Structure 1
Amino acid sequence: MMGTSLYLPVVILLMQCSPSVPVTVTTNRHKVEVEEHKDAVLSCIFYTEKDQQPRIEWKKKGKDVSFVFYGGKFRGPFEGRATIEGATVTLKKVTQEDAGEYRCEISAPKDSVSLGETNVTLKVLVPPQTPLCEIPSSAVTGSVVQLSCRDQHSIPPATYSWYKDNQPMNPPRHANATYLINSRTGVLEFKSVAKEDTGRYSCLASNGVGLPKMCEAKHMTIEYSHSKAWCAVRVHEGMLLVKAHALTPRRSFWISQCHGAAHISSQTLHRAEDMSNVNYIPPPQEPQDFKHTQSFML
């Protein structure tokens, strides 16, 4: 009994002499990521030395520092759409306007250290929107063709994948591939399109937030460029028309169209053009034609 009575005063003395902890402020999450239109919890945990009723303030950093919670009330756009428990704030249905850096400040005038603070960064995630796809309706074989796909609103930025006739187009794994896909920019590029590239193309945007979105599929037709047979026939017809002295714009058009076809010999084209420069001389009229065009005196 004697030992117990001596022990209690020692414990009380140690408690009175032990150093107290001045105001300290911390958080259990310095970075908060939440999907748009959902609730965000900004935690603030504090301990004080003596002051049992410290002043709690929340501020948002930006070009200017604005008050979120001050004087026991939420301010500005946070009024009516935020709650506080202890010093932890819950923002309701956040939008991109709420994204940014917040600071929790605890002021305890009765403590030896009267002010403490902690920062919390809020990132608001946005799922993909339906991407804008630019897909040409037609192209000619052998040409370079680009299809583009982009969504400028998703956070983090979306990545893109392409589909042809509802089947995924796998990113090429070798240097000789006929097309390239940039999943970051959304560009699908054909180095040299072929007839078999004809089909319906669509693009899918995804960023791990919400559901991926796909643009409406569009049909792209790959047509043969002016073939050897087509050009040969048209140039030949043009040369026949020149020989017949029928200089028509259509013949010149055929020749000009075939200038881009490497498989038509330059000699053939130059010959056709040279012939087109021959001055037109009308053929002599047959004797019997004079009876229709002239009169004679008997």
Structure 2
Amino acid sequence: MMEGTSLYLPIVVLLMQCSPSVPVTVSSNSPKVEVREFSDAVLSCKFHTEKDQHPRIEWKKKGKGVSFVYYEGHFKGPFQGRATIDGATVTLRKVTQEDAGEYRCEISAPQDTVTLGETNVTLKVLVPPNTPSCEIPSSAVTGSVVKLRCRDQQSIPPATYSWYKDNLQISQPRHANATYLINSLTGVLEFKAVAKEDTGRYSCLASNGVGPPKTCEAKHMAIEDVNITAVVAAVVVVALLVMVCSCGGLLLHRNGFFSRHRGRSNVNYVPPPQEPQDFKHTQSFML
């Protein structure tokens, strides 16, 4: 039994020596990381080298250019004092929107056949909704088109919106002939033709699943009927004023008011002085 084993042992050793070694490999347990703003983010980086026991570890961040995060055993720039490293895995403390982006973990092993390996990790920083800004008109006329607007510019991912009237949610219209439309992505509530029954207190709720939803302050919108009688009366009064002015001007013209005015302007006319020779000529003519 021992003799058979001794015969196979050289073969096993030879196969182990001839089998290729695994070169440097780099990977991440979480290539896409999503965390809430002001919480910690773990950027995973795992590596395996062929021979090199002390490879060089570098982290870089892609943006308009490429900047160092971790280089020569130290964190750089804004990451100093707020980041730690374990192996090649980095933990960022209290991340903000400035930290969001794509990171690259690079492992350099000069003694290996393949001397460089890398992996990318994308960090997305989530922001809960803020109180949305709402545009709600205080009044409108029946039959007119009215748009109510709601917007939160800072939430990540972008918020979706729902509208409330007198603290009751306005449901999405179920047919094409509905008198209103709600766009939950843009936050616009549009009335095709408002009616008296649309009067009420309106508010908007923004939510994105990250934090608690936020609502804007409710505002009252009153829908008023058009006063047909007042409009007709105003039109009649304007028409009468135009007629009176036209007739008055015509009568004055017929009575020669404007002609007399022009005649009176000639009463004080003074003829130009005559030259002496003209005066003598006139005298001789008269004689």
Q: TM-score, normalised by structure 2?
A: 0.80
User: 2:144 maps to which residue?
Assistant: 143
Distance in 2 separating the partners of 1:85 and 1:231: 79
Q: Hey, what does 1:103 align to over in structure 2?
A: 104
Q: Which amino acid aligns with 1:27?
A: S
Shift of 1:64: 2.0
Max Rg structure = 2
Residues 222-241 of structure 1 mapped to structure 2, 5 A cutoff: 222-228=223-229, 230-231=230-231, 235=233
SS of equivalent to 2:20: coil
Alpha-carbon displacement from aligned partner over 1:42-77 (angstroms, at most 9, x marks no partner): 111111110011000000011221111111111111
Give the superposition deviation at 1:3. 2.1
2:189 partner SS: strand
Q: 1:105 and 1:126, CA in 2 relative to 1: closer, same or farther beyond 3 A? A: same
- Of stretches 197-206 and 133-142 in structure 1, the one that deviates more from structure 2 is 133-142
Give the distance between the partners of 2:128 and 2:239, measured in 1 at CA.
63
Deviations 1:83-123 (A, max 9, x none): 21111111111110001111110000000111111111111
Superposed, 1:1-298 pairs within 5 Å as 1-228=2-229, 230-231=230-231, 235=233, 255-256=234-235, 272-273=240-241, 276-277=244-245, 279=248
- 2:257 maps to none
| Residue type at the aligned position of 2:213 | P
Distance 2:93 2:119 in 1: 21
TM-aligned CA distance change 1:126 to 1:279, over 3 Å: same
CA offset digits 1:22-41 (Å, max 9, x no partner): 11111222222221111111
Moved more, 270-279 or 154-163: 270-279
Q: Which amino acid letter does the alignment assign opposite residue 128 of structure 1? A: P
Determine the C-alpha separation between the residues in 2 that align with 1:211 and 1:33: 17
Secondary structure of the residue that 1:157 maps to in structure 2?
coil
Cα distance in 1 for partners of 2:202, 2:149 equals 11
Instruction: Supply the distance in 2 between the matched residues of 1:182 and 1:57 (Cα, whole angstroms).
Output: 46
AA of the residue aligned to 1:95:
T
Aligned length, in residue pairs:
248
Q: For 1:35 and 1:193, how far apart are their aligned partners in 2?
A: 41
Distance in 1 of aligned mates of 2:239 and 2:80: 85
- Tell me how far apart the structure 1 counterparts of residues 231 and 36 of structure 2 sit (CA, whole Å): 60
Task: Measure how far apart 1:231 and its partner are.
Answer: 4.8
| Distance (Å, rounded) in 2 between the aligned partners of 1:224 and 1:183 | 29
- Which secondary structure state, in structure 1, belongs to the residue aligned with residue 14 of structure 2? helix
Unmatched runs of 5 consecutive residues or more in structure 2: 252-287
Moved more, 97-106 or 25-34: 25-34
Distance 1:271 1:69, change over 3 A: closer
CA distance in 2, matches of 1:150, 1:44: 39
Residue identity matched to 1:49: E
- Measure the CA separation in 1 of the matches of 2:29 and 2:182: 41
Q: Which amino acid in the other structure matches residue 33 of structure 1?
A: E
Say what the alpha-carbon RMSD is for the aligned residues.
Answer: 2.1
* Identical residues among aligned pairs (%): 75
Change (3 A) 1:158 1:276: farther
- The letter of the residue matching 2:84 is T
Q: How has the CA–CA distance of structure 1 residues 271 and 18 changed in structure 2, closer, same or farther, with 3 Å as cutoff?
A: closer
**1:227 offset after TM fit, Å?**
3.3
Give the TM-score, by structure 1 length: 0.77
The alpha-carbon deviation at position 8 of structure 1 amounts to: 3.2
Tell me the amino acid that sits aligned with residue 75 of structure 2.
Answer: F
SS state at 2:153 partner:
coil
Q: Which amino acid aligns with 2:110?
A: P
